[in-house]
Amino acid sequence: MWPETQSAFAAALLDPGKEIPSGIAGDFGRAAKDRFAVYRNNVIKGLCEALREGFPVVAALVGDEFFDAMASAFVRAMPPASPVLLHYGRGFPDFIAAFEPAAAVPYLADVARLEQARTEAYHAADADPVGIDTLQGLSDERLAGLRLELHPSLRLLASELPVVSIWQAHQGSDPVAGSGLPQTGDCALVLRPGWSVEVRAVAAPVHSFVKALGTGAPLADALERLDRADAPDPSSALVELFGLGAVTGFTDTRIEPKEELPC
Amino acid sequence: MTRARAGVGLKPRHYQDVLEGVPETGWFEVHPENYMGDGGPPLAALARVRERFPLSLHGVGLSIGGAGDLDHDHLDRLKALVERFQPELVSEHLAWSTHQGRFFNDLLALPYTDETLDQVGRHVDQVQTHLGRRILIENPATYLRFEESSWTETDFIAELARRTGCGVLLDVNNVFVSCTNHGDDPHDYLSRFPMAPVGEIHLAGHAEDRADDGALLLIDAHDRAVADPVWALYRQALRLGGPKPTLIEWDNDIPDWTTLQAEAARADAILAEFPQPGARHVA
């Protein structure tokens, strides 16, 4: 019966230690096991390639042989649950963090997180950014209560290691956009306002500020995260955030709903 | 479209060539699974391509040959793309790729029996009903056969098309790969293939895998130019079934746009050798 045969087939695909299903014809000069091996190889190779596409810098950092071994281990431990592979890499950074042979490369998991953030930004929903001029004329009190809507592609990353610099070193002639803000290299803002994904190193307080905005904090509360010696002044941070195309609109929670904002 | 043309798979590395140039190709095909994100450049590029060209959605994720139920979430995602992009053709494979919530990202073989014919027929019915349109089913490249098979592949496909009303996608490279792997004559296979329901043809390159004792297996790698014996088979297919929209599939080691376009031009030149009576549409 096909359901039983298919179950045996599926189980043996990812586990080379399992017997191949019975009933496979070993005809025309090639043994059944040899023939089944083509499918085993196709499955592992195809999924490893899908991962390599999403994690090119991780692959470059460890070399193809190591990457294939690590990706195969991930595929066998966590095969995809969906035929949409765009999101398959989501579990890979955590897997790398726990993958003992990769322990000698302490930044590898965070570089993978950065690459995963880029993939997510690439496929995120579209939205039109608004300019900072849309805030013109609002009183300080109303500005303080604004909740900014951030672009659906925006991702934040904080690392104890200089992952942005490491990632940037593998980008050839396509360097990371410079920032006028103090950079420590350990926090990144990833965004796709238009056609291409941008990776930007940001200071830790800016990361904290944008993160607060992302959780729905009113502007005044979020700006408090910049109340540190190593932070840029609030207006520069706000100008830069709008300038990046990271803001797509805003709501005002302190006024009557009928007073709609021009957004 | 007034006559059957050659088309190519749309690849991200060619978006710029296609959108900013004047591509000499009749139509484009994509794997819908690669366009199931929320937004971003892939969907934007596809929308712009669709404004200028006929489109085919060629699925790899429905697992129509599987014993289990179809993945209805996936079917809904496919339906949403079909409704948004209104493709001329929608196709899937006589194969399975998912089992009990695991997706294997490969087109896996099934036995050809009365039981699987019923099962595949039900799945094709469900897909056609859900999408509200006819789909094409492609003959697979296979590396093994099941002892329990009681149908030939060609008869199985013919009966599937007869029962469900589905069309057929004839992959000529798969014919060559499978027949070589199983010691069959590909010309004989083609002469038995149900040509009437064929709505599209695929051409692709394949790799050779040789065992220590010299025994050969061909792998459906889609990583190089179409092989000469496959071009010869293609001519035979057109003689038997008439000209059909023909896709160059090149999914790995993807060449530059010019090389890909030249491969499609070669198929176009062969298509032009055959009269196209009454052909009014890509399908």
List the Cα angle B8/B12/B16 in 5-degree steps: 90
Residues A137 and A55 in one domain: no
Binary contact (B209, A1; C-beta < 8 A) = no
Query: Would an 8 Å CB–CB cutoff place B72 in contact with chain A?
Result: no
Q: pLDDT tens digits for B61-106? A: 999 999 999 999 999 999 999 999 999 999 999 999 999 999 999 9
- Flag whether pLDDT at A228 surpasses 90: no
Q: What is the pLDDT of residues B228-278, one digit of tens each?
A: 999 999 999 999 999 999 999 999 999 999 999 999 999 999 999 998 866
**Is A138 found in the same domain as A92?**
no
pLDDT averaged over chain B?
Answer: 95
The pLDDT of residue A192: 97
Over residues B198-208, the mean pLDDT reads 97
Q: Does B145 touch chain A (CB under 8 A)?
A: yes
Q: Do A30 and B108 touch (CB under 8 A)?
A: no
Q: How far apart are CA B28 and CA B10, in angstroms?
A: 6
Any A CB within 8 A of B99 CB: yes
ipTM at complex level:
0.93
Determine the residue type at A10: A
CB contact under 8 A, B217 and A32: no
Q: Count other Cβ atoms within 10 Å, centred on residue B207.
A: 14
Q: What is the pLDDT of residue A183?
A: 45
* Overall average pLDDT of the A86-114 stretch: 97
Cβ contact B40–A153 (<8 Å): yes
Point out the residue among A39, A82, A85 whose CB comes nearest to the CB of B143: A39
Within a domain: A16 = yes
- Say which of A35, A83, A123 has its CB closest to residue B33: A83
For residue A111, being part of any structural domain is answered with no
* Residue among B177, B198, B196 at smallest CA distance from B186: B177
- Distance, in Å, from the CA atom of B84 to the CA atom of B79, rounded to the nearest integer, reads 9
Number of domains in chain A: 2
Q: What is the mean pLDDT of residues A103-116?
A: 96
Residue A43: enclosing H or E segment and its boundaries?
Answer: helix A32-54
Domain ends where: A105, A120, A147?
A105
B98–A5: do the CB atoms touch at under 8 Å?
Answer: no
* Chain A residue whose CA is closest to B97: A83
- Do the domain assignments include residue A235? yes
Would you say residue B36 has pLDDT above 90? yes
Let me know if residue A127 belongs to a domain.
Answer: no
Residue B139 has pLDDT above 60, yes or no: yes
pLDDT of B13 higher than 90: yes
pLDDT above 90 for A232: no
**Domains of chain B, CATH where assigned:** 6-271 (3.20.20.150)
Distance of CA A179 to the CA centre of its chain: 21
- Tell me the one-letter amino acid at A247: V
Of A105, A121, A150, the residue that ends a domain is A105
Q: Which of A30, A39, A195 sits opposite B108 (nearest CB)?
A: A39
Residue A7 lies in a domain: yes
Q: Using a CB-CB distance cutoff of 8 angstroms, which residues of chain B are in contact with residue A83?
A: 33, 60-63, 71, 74, 97-98, 103, 105
Percent with pLDDT over 70 in chain A: 90
> Is residue A182 very low, low, confident or very high in pLDDT (cuts 50, 70, 90)?
very low
- Same domain flag for A183 and A240: yes
Average pLDDT of chain A? 90
- Between these two residues, B103 and A173, which has the higher pLDDT value? B103
Compare all CA atoms of chain B with the CA of A32 and give the residue at the minimum distance. B144
Whether residues A16 and A99 fall in one domain:
yes
Q: Which residues of B touch A122 (CB under 8 A)?
A: 37, 40-41
The residue segments making up the domain with residue A188 are 132-252
Phi, psi values for residue A173, rounded to 5°: -90, 15
Q: A99 lies in a domain?
A: yes
Residue A87 shares a structural domain with residue A189 = no
What is the residue-wise DSSP string for chain B? --S--EEEE--GGGHHHHHHS----S-EEE-GGGG-SSSSHHHHHHHHHHHHS-EEEE-SSS-TTSSS---HHHHHHHHHHHHHH--SEEEEESSEEEETTEEEEEEE----SHHHHHHHHHHHHHHHHHHTS--EEEPPP-S-EETT--S-HHHHHHHHHHHH--EEEEEHHHHHHHHHHHT--HHHHHHHS--TTEEEEEEE--EEEE-TT--EEEE----SPPPHHHHHHHHHHHHHH----EEEE--SS---HHHHHHHHHHHHHHHTTS--TT--S--
Band of residue A254 on the pLDDT scale cut at 50, 70, 90: low
Does residue A14 sit within a domain? yes
Read off the pTM: 0.93
Q: Which residues contact A244 (CB under 8 A, 6 or more apart)?
A: A189, A191, A193, A198, A200
Contact B182, B217 (CB under 8 A): no
pLDDT digits (tens, 9 = 90+) for A191-205: 999 889 999 999 899
- Quick count: other Cβ atoms within 10 Å of Cβ A221? 16
Residue B215 pLDDT: 79
Cα separation, A64 vs A116, in Å, equals: 19
pLDDT of residue B189 exceeding 70, the answer is: yes
Inter-residue contact A213 to A148 (CB < 8 Å)? yes
Q: What is the pLDDT of residue B3?
A: 84
Confidence of residue A177 (pLDDT cuts 50, 70, 90): low
Domain shared by A98 and A210, yes or no: no
Which pLDDT belongs to residue A181? 41
Taking the C-alpha atoms of residue B124 and residue A29, their distance in angstroms, rounded to an integer, is 35
Taking the C-alpha atoms of residue B92 and residue A84, their distance in angstroms, rounded to an integer, is 15
Is the same domain home to A142 and A240? yes
Are A17 and A68 members of one domain?
yes
Interchain contact, A152 vs B143, CB within 8 Å: no
What is the C-alpha to C-alpha distance for residues B96 and B67, in angstroms, rounded to an integer? 9
Q: Does B96 touch chain A (CB under 8 A)?
A: yes
Query: Does residue A23 or residue B28 have the better pLDDT?
Result: B28
| Closest by CA position to B174, among listed B207, B134, B237, B220 | B220
Question: Which of A60, A89, A105 is the last residue before a domain boundary?
Answer: A105
Residues in chain A: 263
A141 and A248, same structural domain? Answer: yes
Quick check: B180 contacting A, CB < 8 Å? no
pLDDT at A180 over 50: no
The per-residue pLDDT for B278 is 61
Reported as a pLDDT band with limits 50, 70 and 90, residue A29 is low
Count Cβ atoms below 10 Å from residue A98 Cβ, excluding itself: 10
Is A234 a member of any domain?
yes
